[in-house]
Amino acid sequence: MHLPSLTLAVAGAAALLVPPTPPVAGPLVPQEPAARNESDVRAAALLARVRECTPVSRGRYRSDAGASARIPVCGTRHAVFWKADLDIDCDGRPGPRCNRRTDPSFSGSTAYEQSDGRPLKAERLPYIVVPAPSDIWKYHDDSVRGGSVAAVVHEDRVVYAVVGDVGPYDVIGEASYATAKALGIRPGPRRGGTASEVTYIVFKDSRVTPVEDRAAAVEAGERLARQFVRSR
């Protein structure tokens, strides 16, 4: 008469001993890499080295056409620098964000070209624009040329770029779509850029070859920036 109860008890105990079925794991979703400053040299350290200006330009530049000419190019033994706004250069090889439709002043060429002879691509390559040589300043005289390495500083961010294009002879403060994006500045050619201060530091006698080698620009920029902040 007690067998049914015993059978039920044994069955219940066995059920408790059966491990639960593990949940089926879903596919692993790759995490987006966190945005980070690409430089180990702090923006504050670079800005401290360019606090004082010894002008190397004979005159001053405008930030935009029609603005007052107030911006000198300054120099040290190892670099030249200026502090200006940042206008967007979307020139070179066209893409979905830089083309004649998105940029009314688009040009399909850049002053300096890739190793394959094609123009640079502003959407992909961080580069800065130097003013055309004039009586105000001739950048070649300070050992600056196409492919020279630059550290571009905005707020607490540092981006390494190359000299990639030449602009108007009397205006300064322009960089590629990719440079603006890396600095956290709106990169669009119509409403992008910033009027707040951006510091451009170009290291003398430096050059990335080929000019489109992004990894080489970052490696050289990091090394030159370290030397610059330690120099006197």
Q: Sketch the domain layout of the chain as residue ranges.
A: 39-230
CA angle 118, 140, 83 (to 5 degrees): 90
pLDDT at 39: 72
pLDDT at 211: 98
- Residue-level pLDDT, tens digit, the chain, 232 residues: 433 443 333 344 444 444 444 444 433 333 333 335 667 899 999 999 999 999 999 999 999 999 999 999 999 999 999 999 999 999 999 999 999 999 999 999 999 999 999 999 999 999 999 999 999 999 999 999 999 999 999 999 999 999 999 999 999 999 999 999 999 999 999 999 999 999 999 999 999 999 999 999 999 999 999 999 998 7
Q: What is the C-alpha separation between 122 and 108, in angstroms, rounded?
A: 10
For residue 66, which phi and psi values (nearest 5 degrees)? Answer: 95, -15
pLDDT at 232: 75
pLDDT at 37: 65
CATH level 3 topology of 39-230:
Barwin-like endoglucanases (2.40.40)
pLDDT at 130: 98
* Cα separation values, 226 from 39, 41, 45, 213, Å: 10, 7, 9, 20
pLDDT at 12: 42
Q: Which of 11, 87, 177 is nearest to 3 (CA)?
A: 11
210 cis-preceded (ω within 30 degrees of 0): yes
pLDDT at 187: 97
Residue identified by tokens 């690409």 is: 38
Residue 110 is classified by DSSP as: -
pLDDT at 1: 40
CA 178 to chain CA mean position, Å:
6
Q: Strand runs (DSSP E) across 101-215, as ranges? A: 127-131, 149-154, 157-167, 174-176, 194-203
